[in-house]
Chains A and B, each alone.
Chain A
């Protein structure tokens, strides 16, 4: 699969390494060339230095044949802009957008972007870890993905086996 990752921070670089080691064709874009050091020596994808929402850069990254794109720069608005270009102009089938601001994550989810609001997710994980209570974590990722985690309490009642 031809996958474009925009942003080579901690998340972007790790994502690139995982996908690349799984045999995908990964192109990663970052405006700071020093960021590619995070990829380590084993990364065998392509790196492009430039602004991710620049149409020329995206074309160089092969957006016209990309099957998926992840926007994981540290700028919410950059991520939104890249994602809208990928989805609405180049019809990339799968576009995932990281958004820190929970409000903007909600708004753009309504506008049809697959947003991952990491702030809310992390806050909920922390909350349940701090309170040590039985928890039900629930996240929706975009419009068609969800993650639910149930954690059983020690004193949880045994369910009867049928």
Chain B
């Protein structure tokens, strides 16, 4: 698979490294020549183009015509939008993803039909969760933070403690994936009784995370 990354800052470079390491064909377009040179030194096996990624000619140099994925990760949201639109509408790239630096621009991108990743929003959410004691923890955010795999540890006071799974009223958009009890992995079945100290791994949408938390470990 050929992945074209526009923007060679911290995000672009580490993405290029990771994808090239995973065996993808990777090209990076970076407008600052010095930075482009540095990436060329640090990332083997990637094609590095020094030039403005908003310029269709540079995108062609970088082989956009055969790219399956284009991701725009520069520090400027307006550039990321234009790069993604050029990729999708002019070059017909099947999958385009934009980094959004300022969270207030996320809605604009969504309304214009461009998929986004907003690291600010994701980090804010993660820190918020980590900072709340007795909460459920997000182990992994999926689908750009819309879906997450969470962990909750039951205390004796938790509403789910000493109840069978089938007795629980779990939100519709969530599912218990596994229970970890004294290093044993238990796959949840309706008759299994949850015990204090159980660590429960569940999959949930962001919207229903608080309802899931309430069902498992109760309100604050």
Residues of chain A touching chain B, judged by Cβ–Cβ distance below 8 Å, are 53-56, 75-78, 80-81, 84-85, 88-89, 101, 103-104, 107, 111
Contact = CB atoms under 8 A, between A and B. Distances in A.
Given A101-B55, A104-B54, A77 B108 contact: no
Contact of A54 (B55, B89, B104): B104
10 contacts: A53-B77, A54-B104, A76-B54, A77-B81, A81-B82, A89-B108, A89-B111, A104-B56, A104-B82, A107-B86
Given A76-B54, A104-B54, A88 B82 contact: no
B76 A103 contact: no
Contact of B112 (A54, A56, A75, A84): A84
Q: What DSSP secondary structure best describes chain B's contact surface?
A: helix
Interface string B65-108: 00000000000111101100110011000000000001011011
User: Top 9 nearest A-B pairs by Cβ distance?
Assistant: A77-B78, A81-B78, A77-B82, A78-B78, A89-B111, A77-B79, A81-B81, A80-B82, A85-B108
B112 A80 contact: no
A75 B57 contact: no
Give the size category of B's interface with A.
20 to 34
A139 B57 CA distance: 24
Interface of B: 54-57, 76-79, 81-82, 85-86, 89-90, 102, 104-105, 107-108, 111-112
Given A55-B107, A56-B104, A77 B54 contact: yes
B78 A75 contact: yes
A80 B83 CA distance: 11
Contacts of A80: 78, 81-82
Contacts of A88: 111-112
A77 B81 CA distance: 8
Nearest to B56: A103
A56 B79 CA distance: 20
B57 to A, nearest CB: 7
Nearest to B76: A77
A104 B85 CA distance: 11
Given A107-B86, A107-B90, A111-B89, A81 B55 contact: no
B123 to A, nearest CB: 21
Nearest to A101: B55
Given A55-B105, A76-B54, 16 more contacts: A53-B105, A54-B102, A54-B105, A55-B104, A55-B107, A77-B79, A78-B78, A80-B78, A80-B81, A80-B82, A81-B78, A81-B108, A101-B55, A103-B56, A104-B54, A104-B82
Nearest to B82: A77
Contacts of B104: 54-56
Nearest to B109: A81
Contacts of B77: 53, 81
A50 B12 CA distance: 28
Contacts of A75: 78
Contacts of A104: 54, 56, 82
